[in-house]
Structure 1
Amino acid sequence: MVFTMDGNGRFVRVYEVARRTIVMDTPFIFTMHEGLPRQGPGSNACTRKAFSMLADLPARPEILDIGCGSGMQTVELARTCRDCRITAVDVHQPYLDDLARSAASAGAGDRIATVRASMDDLPFGDASFDVLWAEGSIFVVGFREGLAVWRRLLRPGGYLCLTEAAWFTENPSPEAAAFWNECYPAITTVPGNRAIAEDAGYEVVATFPLPASAWWDDYYTPILKRLADLRSKVAGNPEAEVLIAFEEREIAVFREHADEYGYEFFVLRKKE
C-alpha cells in the first residue's frame, strides 16, 4: 500500500474516483494492516543478507529502525546482531505493542526500545546511530528527502539500509506505469536511485532486488485474506471500499508485472 503524510502527521491516500478525490485518513489504513506479519514487502532472509554487508561496525552498534511497523525485521536484526541495541520508531502504537511482544518472545526485549514518533520529525540527536534501517518506509517522506534529513542521525561511516520501489526496466508497460504514476510518481530506476544516494552524500555499498516471495509470503497473501474479511464489515463506507479496491488493484498489477518493478534493497554508507 502506498500513502502519504499530511501536514498534521497523519497518513492519507488520495484517490481519483469518478472525477472526485477521496482522502483516506489513518485509522482504516492501519486497521487493514494490523496483526499482519509485515506492513510491506520483505523477508527475514533479505534482512539478514543486507546486514551481512555491513563492515567495521562497533562491538555494540546502535540501530534505528525507522517506520518499523510490527517489527518482523527489527526482531530479525536483534537475532542476527546479538550485541546491538535497537530503537524502533513508528507512529502507530498498536504496531509498537506488537513489536514489544514479539521482542519479548524472542528474548530480545531488553535490546529493543520502541518510540512513537513520525519519521519526518525523529526526536534524536545528531550522530546518534551506527545504522539506520528502513524497510518499506522511506516512500512516506520520499527517497531523496529521507536520505537528506536522516543523514544527520548517522555517525561517521554509519550505514543506511533501506528498501525502495524501483523500475527494473526503462520501458514499463502502460498498466504498470499508470499505477505507479498515480500512487508514487517519484519512482525511478535502480541506477537513478543510486545516483540520488551518491548526490546525497552516501557511498552505495550494494543493492539487490527483493524476490517475489518477499512480496507474497508475509505481505500480499496475508492481506488478501484480511481484505476478504473486511469487505463485508465496511459495506456502505465508500472510503473504505475504495481503499480495499485500490489494494486489490495494487496486488493485481504486481501479479502481472512483477518483472518490471519491485523493491530494491540499498545498503548505503555515509561519506566522511
Structure 2
Amino acid sequence: MAESPIFEIFDGLPRQGPGSNECTEKAFNLLSSLPAGTKILDIGCGVGMQTIHLAKICKECHITATDIYQPFLDKLMENAVKEGVDDRISTVCASMDDLPFENGEFDVIWAEGSIFVIGFEKGLSYWKQFLKEGGYVALTESTWFTDEPSSEVVQFWQDCYPDIKSIADTEKVIMAVGYDLIDSFKLPASTWYDFYANLEKRVDKISDNYKGNTEAEMILEFNRREIKLFRVYPDEYGYTFFILQKNE
C-alpha cells in the first residue's frame, strides 16, 4: 500500500492536512481532569506536527502516534528529537482500522484530519474500545458551513467524501455512537490556505516525476482542483474540531 504516489506527495509537507498548533492547543485545553501520566493515542498522525505540539504542552503525557506509512513516523521521531520531546512519544506503524492496542488503554484519542479514511461513524465506533471510561476523543472532520452549498462544491464532495454532513448532523452521529459532545469549533480558513500553499508548491515540484503515471496524475489533478475550489468557496465547508467524551 505504501507505494501509492499519494504518500510521496504528502511526505514533503510539514502537515498532511489543514490545522495549526493554535487549534491543537485550543482543543487540548478543552479536556478537563486528565490524570497524571495521561496516555494519548494519535491516529493517522502523518509527520506529527500536532503530536510534537501535544508533547510540548502536556509534559505529563505519553503519546503513541500511529500511521500506516513508516517514513512519516521516522520523520516524526526525527523532529521529536530536535524538539527534545522524543522521550514522551512512541510510534506504531498500523492501520487505523486494525490497531494493536488493549481495551481501555488510552485516556485520549487524537485524530486531526484522518478519520475520513475509515469513515466518521465507523472510526468513532471502532476506536471507542481503546478508551478508558470517561476518556476523550479530539478530532477534526469535514463539515458543511452552509445549508446551501454551491453545486460545484457539492459535486466535489460527492467525488471525494460523500459522507460530509452539517455540524448539527455530525453531532447527532457522535451522540448515537455513545459519546457526549464537550465542545466544537471551526478551524479558521487560514489553516486551509497555509496547507494548500505548501501542497501547491509540492504538486508543482513533483508533477514532472509522474508524467505517464495515470494514478499519480489523477491524484495531482485532484489536488489542483481541490485547492482551486477552496479559494473560490472558503466559507461553504471546512474542518470542525470536535471534543467528545465516552459516555458509558
Residue 223 of structure 1: how far off its partner (Å): 1.1
1:101 to 78, 85, 98: 78
**Identity between Structure 1 and Structure 2 (%):** 52
Secondary structure in structure 2 of the residue aligned to 1:267: strand
Distance 1:186 1:228 in 2: 30
Secondary structure in structure 1 of the residue aligned to 2:87: coil
Which residue identity is paired with 2:34? Answer: L
Which residue identity is paired with 1:91? Answer: I
Secondary structure in structure 2 of the residue aligned to 1:163: strand
Residue 172 of structure 1 pairs with residue 169 of structure 2: no
Residue 238 of structure 1: how far off its partner (Å): 2.3
Residue 60 of structure 1 pairs with residue 60 of structure 2: no
- Counterpart residue number, 1:230: 206
Residue 131 of structure 1: how far off its partner (Å): 0.3
Q: Alignment length, in residue pairs?
A: 248
Residue 271 of structure 1 pairs with residue 221 of structure 2: no
Distance 2:217 2:113 in 1: 24
Distance 1:197 1:267 in 2: 10
- Counterpart residue number, 2:235: 259
Residue 241 of structure 1: how far off its partner (Å): 1.5
Structure 2: unaligned runs, 5 residues or longer: none
- Counterpart residue number, 1:70: 47
Distance 1:35 1:256 in 2: 26
TM-score, structure 1 normalization: 0.89
**Is 2:136–2:243's contact at 8 Å kept on the other side of the alignment?**
yes
Which residue identity is paired with 1:221? Answer: A
Residue 106 of structure 1: how far off its partner (Å): 1.0
More helix by share: 2
> What is the alpha-carbon root mean square deviation over aligned residues?
1.0
Distance 1:236 1:90 in 2: 29
Residue 110 of structure 1 pairs with residue 83 of structure 2: no
Distance 2:145 2:220 in 1: 27
- Counterpart residue number, 2:192: 215
Which residue identity is paired with 1:147? Answer: L
Segments ≥4 residues shifted beyond 4 Å: none
* Deviation sequence 1:27-86 (CA, Å, 0-9, x none): 200010112100111000000000000001001100000000000000000011011000
Which residue identity is paired with 1:179? Answer: F
Distance 1:39 1:188 in 2: 22
Secondary structure in structure 2 of the residue aligned to 1:268: strand
Distance 1:113 1:35 in 2: 22
Residue 248 of structure 1 pairs with residue 198 of structure 2: no
Structure 1: unaligned runs, 5 residues or longer: 1-9, 12-25
Secondary structure in structure 2 of the residue aligned to 1:206: strand
- Counterpart residue number, 2:56: 79
- Counterpart residue number, 2:159: 182
- Counterpart residue number, 1:39: 16
CA shift in 2, pair 1:231/1:35, >3 Å: closer
Residue 230 of structure 1: how far off its partner (Å): 1.2
Distance 1:237 1:256 in 2: 29
* Deviation sequence 1:162-217 (CA, Å, 0-9, x none): 00000011111000000001111111000001010001111100000001111122
* Deviation sequence 1:92-147 (CA, Å, 0-9, x none): 00000000011111111111000000000010010000000000000000000001
Distance 1:129 1:238 in 2: 41
Which residue identity is paired with 1:161? Answer: A
- Counterpart residue number, 1:159: 136
- Counterpart residue number, 2:101: 124
